[in-house]
Structure 1
Amino acid sequence: MKRFFKNIKSDKILFFGFLAALIFIILNLSLVGFFYSKLPPFIPLFNQMPWGEARLGLKEQIFIPIAITFAIFVINIIISSWLYKKTPLVSRIFSITTLLISFFTLLFIIRTIRIMV
């Protein structure tokens, strides 16, 4: 297993991209954990839906974007490790994509919490 992730540690772009993404995911969990008790029972999560109750989700559903982001993080880190020897550029693209997804999830969580608290 160490050899599997050796490429990620050796490439600075991969390492710092995935590290920053992990930090953003931890920040997401920390923010939700800190403000969870202050959130109302229904929060606006589904912003693409028509105006009204369709936009609202249960308070527990605030963890869905974080879980999806973490799943993408794990999948991309595995794919990047696997592809690094063949195409380092694609691995770096996966790293930056993961970083952007986790950053935008953090912005979404901050915006949602700021509206409700």
Structure 2
Amino acid sequence: MTRKLGIIVTDRGSKYAVSGAAVRDRAGVDAVLKELKRDKAYAKATHNTWGVLLSEAGPLKGDDGEAGAGMVILRMLERAGLEDHLIIVTRWYGGKHLGGDRFRHVQTCVSAYLEGDGHGGKETG
């Protein structure tokens, strides 16, 4: 079950949202991304960056054109010790470059997700 927290950050026209779900493998990652993009707003987003620490296969990430964003998500998952849970940060580009602030916004989104009840042992993928 995918959990969408919606818009977390707005900066200079860009909007950031965070979503996530329990997954066990790459097929699970692909299924969650496909499900997310069924929502037209997410399908039209500029970037759907993601990261996951799979207990069987190790770390996987996708920058979706936002170079370095997947690694930010992976580092935060490693610090949290959260395995087998995909986190997706979605950005709708607002027309102005944000420079390094974009990474801070990714961190803010992941933190909001980790602090919520969107992760934990009770969910299944």
Q: TM-score, normalised by structure 1?
A: 0.28
- By percentage of residues, which structure has more helix? 1
**Structure exhibiting the larger radius of gyration computed from Cα positions:** 1
- By percentage of residues, which structure has more strand? 2
Q: TM-score, normalised by structure 2?
A: 0.27
